[in-house]
Amino acid sequence: MLKGKTALITGSTSGIGLGIARALAGQGCNIMLNGLGDPEKIEATRHGLQREFSITARYHDADMTRPDDITSLVETTAASFGGIDILVNNAGIQHTAPVEEFPPERWAAIIAVNLSSSFYAIHHTVPHMRRRGWGRIINIASVHGLVASANKAAYVSAKHGLVGLTKVVALETAGSGITSNAICPGWTRTELIEPQIVARAQALGVDIEAGGRSMLAEKQPSQQFVSIEQLGQLVLFLCSSGSDQITGTAIPIDGGWTAQ
């Protein structure tokens, strides 16, 4: 179904993005990886994807805070694979602090990576998708694109903005073969939330596992983390023909967090 298609996944050197890259590669998609990290480890990841799934995987080191880098990321992907079929805007960062103590430079960085980078990537990718008459834009938002939590001014603002951007792009591409959707995960155990788990464990004077359980108990009724594999499966569904009429949505995958 996806064999030979090209997927560009931002922030795919770890966590959810890498899991999505693996899910798409498992269906025969060629992959453009992007993200920060140790070059040797990234090269091993790229090589591993090629070997395990018999696809072509490339890597681009675009810094998603830099619009010119994003132009290069998109155009290099299109030129080297002959087009772009699937764009997953996944790169993201976090910082937690009360609004009156929130460092302005962290605000600017979070808005840049978690929101503006998706605009730039979509802006440059849509013309390539229109030429093919097919495309999937999948924005990894968050439950924080739908509801708020304290101490996350920048993250919640960026993710709400990303859900809005998803809807606008859906309206502008409706009927063209392109869909635009957001996925809104609850707690998923990755490096992004590890500092929050550590802080919770320290505040309670418990071990890391108990810290994680406490965070789940507060927000996620299933009391289970979302898995990276489950997020990969949802992306595959959004890339299937069964989802041709699903566009402009923000789909929670959150163990009931936003049902409360």
59 is catalytic: no
217 binds ligand NAD (CB under 6 A): no
Taking CB under 6 A as the criterion, the residue among 9, 29, 49, 113 binding ligand NAD is 113
Q: What is the 3-state secondary structure (H, E, C) of the chain?
A: CCCCCEEEECCCCCHHHHHHHHHHHHCCCEEEEECCCCHHHHHHHHHHHHHHHCCCEEEECCCCCCHHHHHHHHHHHHHHHCCCCEEEECCCCCCCECHHHCCHHHHHHHHHHHHHHHHHHHHHHHHHHHHHCCEEEEEECCHHHCCCCCCEHHHHHHHHHHHHHHHHHHHHHCCCCEEEEEEEECCECCCCCHHHHHHHHHHHCCCHHHHHHHHHHHHCCCCCCECHHHHHHHHHHHCCHHHCCCCCCEEEECCCHHHC
220 binds ligand NAD (CB under 6 A): no
232 binds ligand NAD (CB under 6 A): no
211 binds ligand NAD (CB under 6 A): no
Residue closer to ligand NAD (CB basis): 6 or 188: 188
Taking CB under 6 A as the criterion, the residue among 28, 50, 56, 63 binding ligand NAD is 63
Catalytic residue among 81, 120, 155, 257: 155
Taking CB under 6 A as the criterion, the residue among 90, 118, 180, 220 binding ligand NAD is 90
Residue 4 C-beta: closest distance to ligand NAD, Å:
25
36 binds ligand NAD (CB under 6 A): yes
15 binds ligand NAD (CB under 6 A): yes
91 binds ligand NAD (CB under 6 A): yes
92 binds ligand NAD (CB under 6 A): yes
Residue closer to ligand NAD (CB basis): 245 or 259: 259
Taking CB under 6 A as the criterion, the residue among 73, 126, 129, 140 binding ligand NAD is 140
Q: For residue 87, give Cα distances in angstroms to 41, 101, 154, 227.
A: 23, 35, 24, 21
Taking CB under 6 A as the criterion, the residue among 8, 17, 179, 238 binding ligand NAD is 17
Sequence-ordered list of residues with C-beta below 8 angstroms from that of 100, at least 6 positions apart, any chain: none
13 binds ligand NAD (CB under 6 A): yes
11 binds ligand NAD (CB under 6 A): yes
Q: In what order do the strands lie in the sheet with 86-89?
A: 57-60, 30-34, 6-9, 86-89, 135-140, 178-185, 250-253
Residue closer to ligand NAD (CB basis): 11 or 232: 11
Residues that bind ligand NAD (CB under 6 A): 11-17, 34-37, 63-65, 90-93, 113-114, 140, 142, 185, 187-188, 190-193
Q: Looking at the annotation, which residues are catalytic?
A: 155
